[in-house]
Chains A and B, each alone.
Chain A
């Protein structure tokens, strides 16, 4: 009874083995042996190969986790320090996510590489929701995409709304100059009333907050300032030099965008490493569990074949005696 079950198990491994060479070898090489030895010759080769490959995968995921952990440590400090760049702007201009303008540009920030959990899908999901919220009959909203992963997801249903896509950002170490040149390119290439930056804010290694930051164009800032509210307090500030208010607002809006982008890119890179770390951690744990199950099957099969051989020897001997 038990042997039949084991034979089925062995057959299933032979069928589901992902490596065609293994299947071939298992069906060709031991067939001779199986014929001469009968039921005892359940091949453990396939299970052994499977165990080896699972062990290798586990090693790879463990190494990836280590790499992500060390990268995370370096980038976390920078991300946390860069928060000081946008906080003064929010204190001065406020954040107005609910502002209603004609031309919306959604800047979706994602990673270039995968294997980092759900952070890219989260930012894509938020961007889509944002687009649905901001687009209307006389309003339009378009995408600017950072990173391969969001591009691959958004290309499917909103390819007509993509205006710019930027990749290979993380080839070198992220620095402010790079991000500001990038922000400059975005400002030059799109027309906007409000830029909405969507990114994953790093909270801890396991939790990332999908966040949006809104940057208004100088005209909209002026319009909003007349309407009052937080922006209405702008007039209370004394302006040095000979520039007019609109000039200063334009400079401020541009600088604010590059600062917010810098922070957003860093936070997202930080979240990426954190997410990769936890994803790789759980996948090496899964590989361990799988390895345990395979080892159990392997040992049980081995034991069963030994037992069968013993029984045959003993019964043969007792038949001779009797």
Chain B
């Protein structure tokens, strides 16, 4: 049961369950064989632009284009 023991560690590293499960999902995706693997990875593209608002003004948006394989 290594996963149950791991919980306090990724929590302490500032991760949420969502990012933890995303990394796990990405690991599973990487285990696929080749034609399916690149297909599955290309399907999961992440793109959005997020801007924080301070005192009623938007700050400069930062674009998120994640390559999940970098986890």
Contacts and interface: CB of A to CB of B under 8 A. Distances in A.
Interface of A: 159-160, 162-169, 171-173, 175-178, 180-185, 187-189, 241-243, 247, 250-251, 254-255, 257-258
Interface in B21-71: 21-22, 25, 43-53, 55-58, 61, 63-64, 66, 68
B68 A177 contact: yes
Interface in B1-26: 1, 4-5, 7, 11, 16-19, 21-22, 25
Nearest to B19: A184
Contacts of B21: 180, 255
A172 B11 CA distance: 30
Contact of B44 (A178, A184, A185, A247): A178
A168 B64 CA distance: 10
A168 B51 contact: no
B15 to A, nearest CB: 9
A229 B11 CA distance: 30
Interface of B: 1, 4-5, 7, 11, 16-19, 21-22, 25, 43-53, 55-58, 61, 63-64, 66, 68
Contact of A181 (B4, B5, B52, B66): B66
A243 B4 contact: yes
A241 B4 contact: yes
Contact of B50 (A165, A242, A247, A250): A165
Contact of A185 (B47, B50, B68): B50
B47 A171 contact: yes
A164 B4 contact: no
B47 A187 contact: no
Given A163-B53, A255-B17, A258-B18, A168 B68 contact: no
Contacts of B49: 166-168
11 contacts: A163-B52, A167-B61, A175-B45, A177-B46, A178-B45, A181-B19, A184-B18, A184-B19, A185-B50, A254-B16, A258-B18
A252 to B, nearest CB: 8
Contact of A247 (B1, B7, B46, B56): B7
Contacts of A173: 43, 45
B45 A162 contact: no
Interface centre among B19, B25, B48, by most chain A C-beta atoms within 10 angstroms, is B48
A258 B19 CA distance: 10
B56 A181 contact: no
Given A180-B21, A184-B18, A255-B18, A159 B52 contact: no
Given A163-B52, A188-B16, A241-B1, 19 more contacts: A159-B53, A159-B56, A164-B52, A165-B50, A165-B58, A167-B48, A167-B61, A171-B48, A173-B43, A176-B44, A177-B22, A177-B68, A178-B46, A181-B18, A181-B46, A182-B48, A187-B18, A241-B4, A258-B18
A162 B48 contact: no
Nearest first, the 6 A-B pairs at minimum CB distance are: A159-B56, A177-B44, A241-B4, A251-B17, A254-B17, A184-B18
A257 to B, nearest CB: 8
B18 A183 contact: yes
Nearest to B1: A241
A189 B51 CA distance: 11
B24 to A, nearest CB: 12
A178 B47 contact: yes
A242 B4 contact: yes
Contact of A175 (B16, B17, B44): B44
A184 B16 contact: yes
Nearest to A159: B56
Contact of A166 (B5, B19, B48, B55): B48
